[in-house]
Chains A and B, each alone.
Chain A
Amino acid sequence: MLFLIAKRVLTAFVTVLTVIVLSGILIHVVPGDPVTAMMAQSVTATPEVMAEMRSQLGLDLPVWQQVVLYASHVLTGDLGTTIRGNEPVARLLFERLPNTFALAVSGLSVALLIGIPLGFLAAINRGRLADTAVMVIAVLGVSIPGFWLGLIMIQVFSLKLGWFPVAGSGYRNIVLPALTLGLTYCALVARMTRSALVDILAEDYIRTARARGLREHQVLFVHALKPALISIVTVVGLVFAYLMGGQVIVENVFSWNGIGRLAVQAMLERDYPMIQGFIVVFASSVVIVSMLIDILYGFLDPRMRQR
């Protein structure tokens, strides 16, 4: 077990390191000059002003030197400063990370609350019309563009019904974006729940339980659901990663002040240090969360624990 944890931590670390180097290289493979882009709106930026800015950003050094410099800065917690506004990237990102996590966790909860019962329903009605209907509904969720659903939610729940505020980052503001995300990603959870349960229901011990004359609901809830839930833990990491990605657009629709908003803004403005910082922080969060879930799974699953 300890070996397993060590291995997972090491893998996660190597992955994060790769991401850092990749994002350090990124700025050099893209067309266009960041300084020109950032001064674009200012008509009076002289070539001297631009040159000054370029050297302040270290853009006049050789590429490999910049990448090494970038990686070593990142490892000491310095992600550079934004081109627009000249603010520390790390501070901007970490100020917003709690908001992003709060929304991701809320969205995940919604996805689990909807997805698990749906998957359960589908599994116990396997092959019947109810199975198809449930899965079609679940897949429908993942087929709706998040931004579209978000706009409709604002129109209905904020404007027509007045139940929730439109924009901001308070606790009442979280409901609509969490619902949008949850509805989008519940299909993943439902499908995993269904297939896990279908597998388990075919296991010998379930047959034994049934043969012992246990009530069907006892078989389902006590003997089948519990192990199924354990294997669902493995998809939680995956759903989380997808959710974080979908969140980028949803944060913009709902003016949720998370790192996704920051990222889209930076992408549109070509604020390279900000984009690089986002990639590093985003990838690290995804990697670390999935590492923790893997380890958690190791504790939950007796077969893994014995190793």
Chain B
Amino acid sequence: MSMVPTTTIRRRALPWSVIIGLGLALVIIILALAAPVIAPYDPMRMASGPRLSAPGLTHLFGTDEFGRDLFSRVLHGGRLSLGIGLTAVLTGILAGGLIGLIAAFSGRVIQSVLLRLIDVLYSFPDTLIALALVAFLGPGIGNATLAIAISLIPFYARVTYGLAAAERAKPYIEAAQLAGIRSARLVRVHVMPNITQSLIVMGTLGFSSAILSAAGLSFLGLGVQPPSPEWGGILASGRNYITKAPWILLFPGLAICVTVLSFNLIGDSLRDLIDPRRKSPS
């Protein structure tokens, strides 16, 4: 994913994929927020129904091995998964952004050391970094979120560096530097406003990758702890019922797919829009 700097999104009609993505994302966010109101049962209460009962009218998605209502669990799980994604991405953007800016506005030595480090870490897929970190930190929702946030830092550092370095090369910055304005102020007043838009777009991509990482960690038993209904966790604890009660795997899996898909669609298409290498006018 090569990051190329830009300043503005060209105004034109949003592509269909963005509209689909936005629509799906909106529905998912509303469902997650309204979970306590919509959910027919307490997601943690065992024996809400018979154990392992198939999807039906009383239990829309069926029940799990403890007779908990799966529909309620998937709804509440959305809050957890989206929450983890959001926290991780915000932390990742803040820390990564800072590192990227420092790299862009510091001397040659610090810059090349930082860039080298970022590149090395960036060569590791984020899921793998998160996995290694959580193996060391210990499991749990807090550690998992932290690990995912850290795993996103190289990505955002790299993006921010690219954006900021391009901004720095612009004549007005040079002029300002000649005028004796300090780097910190320059960044705050001039650079930041120009790159935030692109960072937000990149945020949606990091968001879907964070949700996948969280699910993967929970699947390996290193993420959110039971009985919390995080999607990956439901998959992990229900996977051995794949022949007996496949719905325990089906619905949380679909929830992950649709959520990640919607944010990927938004991020992917918007990135195409802001990518200035796209010379072709459409």
A interface residues with partner B (beta carbon < 8 Å): 14-15, 18-19, 22, 30-32, 126-127, 129, 132, 135-136, 139-140, 142-148, 151-152, 155, 159, 187, 191, 195, 198-199, 201-202, 238, 241-242, 244-246, 248-249, 264, 267-268, 270, 275, 279, 282-283, 286-287, 290
Contacts and interface: CB of A to CB of B under 8 A. Distances in A.
A19 B53 CA distance: 51
B256 A155 contact: no
Given A136-B17, A195-B278, 4 more contacts: A155-B246, A198-B278, A246-B127, A287-B123
Contacts of B124: 245, 282-283, 286
B268 A139 contact: yes
B128 A245 contact: yes
Interface stretch (B113-121, B161-169, B180-188): B113-121
Contact of B16 (A132, A143, A145): A132
Contact of A143 (B117, B127, B257): B257
A31 B137 CA distance: 7
Given A145-B212, A148-B235, A199-B278, A264 B17 contact: no
Contact of B216 (A19, A147, A268): A147
B82 interface: no
A132 B242 contact: no
Given A198-B278, A244-B125, A30 B116 contact: no
Contact of A139 (B131, B261, B277, B278): B261
A306 B178 CA distance: 38
B131 A145 contact: no
A257 B268 CA distance: 34
Interface residues of B, number: 52
Given A126-B282, A142-B264, A246-B127, A155 B243 contact: yes
B123 A286 contact: yes
Contacts of A191: 268
Interface of B is mostly: helix
Contacts of B29: none
B261 A198 contact: no
Contact of A18 (B116, B128, B208, B215): B116
Contacts of A132: 15-17, 20
A249 B127 contact: yes
Interface in B216-271: 216, 219-220, 232, 235, 239, 242-243, 246, 249, 253, 256-258, 260-261, 264-265, 268-269
Given A14-B116, A155-B242, A248-B131, A140 B257 contact: yes
Contacts of A199: 277-280
Contacts of A290: 123
A248 B124 CA distance: 12
Interface string B90-113: 000000000000000000000000
A139 B271 CA distance: 14
A140 B127 contact: no
Contact of A267 (B127, B131, B277): B131
Residue of A132, A143, A249, A267 with most chain B CB atoms under a 10 A cut-off? A143
B136 A241 contact: no
Contacts of B269: 135
Given A14-B116, A249-B216, A143 B125 contact: no
Contacts of A126: 282
Contact of B265 (A14, A32, A136, A264): A136
Given A144-B257, A246-B127, A268 B249 contact: no
B132 interface: yes
Nearest to B246: A155
Contacts of A151: 239, 242, 249
Pick the 3 closest A-B CB pairs, nearest first.
Answer: A245-B125, A267-B135, A202-B280
B88 to A, nearest CB: 16
A18 B279 CA distance: 37
